[in-house]
């Protein structure tokens, strides 16, 4: 009986995943995004792989979706306090929730795990290499497989270790679907 229930659950999940992608969106097979941001002299360049929608739901003329972003970032600054890094790397895994109130405009938000190569960068002591990444943004679909957006991000360890000064970033985002 347990094997039958497990098999039924797996079939339902496979069916759900197979129908999860919106056939009218140009990102049904995933895509890439490039981001660049600068705040307080801290620059950040990011390259992300964006999964196909892991889940989506139509709500009348609007749509909700969840995608995964897996990527890497390079941070740099022209000046740093003594003993603080001028450069660092960051890896991220972020589930992004996207609401499409129209066919072309979206609002997004997500929280996920990131890891940084330095615990002291520019003038911030972030205390740990593990960080949470919080993102909120909006954008516009330029074509079926291209989006342009603006995103505000905050990175901190959530108070797990002190000090927890965190890093903020405003980024321009360009995404292209496969």
d(Cα 130, Cα 135) in Å, to the nearest integer? 16
Predicted pLDDT at 21: 40
- The radius of gyration computed from the CA coordinates of the chain, to the nearest angstrom, equals 19
In the numeric block, the tokens 């972020």 are attached to: 94
d(Cα 23, Cα 17) in Å, to the nearest integer? 13
Outline where DSSP puts E strands in 3-84: 31-39, 42-50, 55-59, 62-77
The answer to whether 173 and 135 have CB atoms below 8 angstroms apart is: no
d(Cα 73, Cα 45) in Å, to the nearest integer? 5
In tens digits, the chain (178 residues) has pLDDT values of 445 444 444 333 333 333 444 444 678 899 999 999 999 999 999 999 999 999 999 999 999 999 999 999 999 999 999 999 999 999 999 999 999 999 999 999 999 999 999 999 999 999 999 999 999 999 999 999 999 999 999 999 999 999 999 999 999 999 999 8
The answer to whether 135 and 151 have CB atoms below 8 angstroms apart is: yes
Predicted pLDDT at 129: 97
pTM over 0.75: yes
Predicted pLDDT at 25: 62
- Which of 147, 136, 68, 51 has the alpha carbon at shortest distance from 103? 147
d(Cα 173, Cα 135) in Å, to the nearest integer? 12
CATH class of 41-177: mainly beta
Q: Measured on CA atoms in the order 82, 87, 92, 96, is the torsion positive or negative?
A: positive
The answer to whether 19 and 62 have CB atoms below 8 angstroms apart is: no
CA-CA-CA-CA dihedral for 18, 23, 25, 30, to nearest 10:
30
């Amino acid at each position: 009986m347990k094997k039958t229930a497990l098999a039924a659950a797996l079939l339902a999940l496979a069916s759900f995943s197979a129908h999860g992608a919106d056939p009218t969106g140009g990102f049904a097979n995933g895509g890439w995004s490039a981001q660049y941001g600068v705040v307080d002299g801290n620059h950040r360049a990011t390259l992300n792989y964006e999964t196909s929608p892991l889940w989506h739901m139509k709500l009348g003329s609007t749509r909700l979706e969840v995608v995964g972003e897996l990527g890497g970032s390079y941070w740099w600054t022209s000046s740093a306090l003594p003993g603080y890094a001028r450069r660092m790397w960051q890896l991220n895994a972020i589930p992004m929730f996207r609401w499409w109130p129209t066919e072309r405009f979206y609002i997004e938000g997500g929280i996920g795990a990131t890891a940084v190569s330095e615990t002291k960068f520019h003038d911030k002591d972030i205390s740990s290499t593990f960080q949470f990444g919080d993102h909120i943004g909006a954008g516009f679909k330029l074509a079926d497989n291209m989006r342009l957006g603006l995103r505000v991000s905050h990175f901190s360890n959530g108070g797990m270790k002190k000090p927890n000064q965190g890093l903020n970033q405003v980024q321009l985002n360009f995404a292209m679907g496969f």
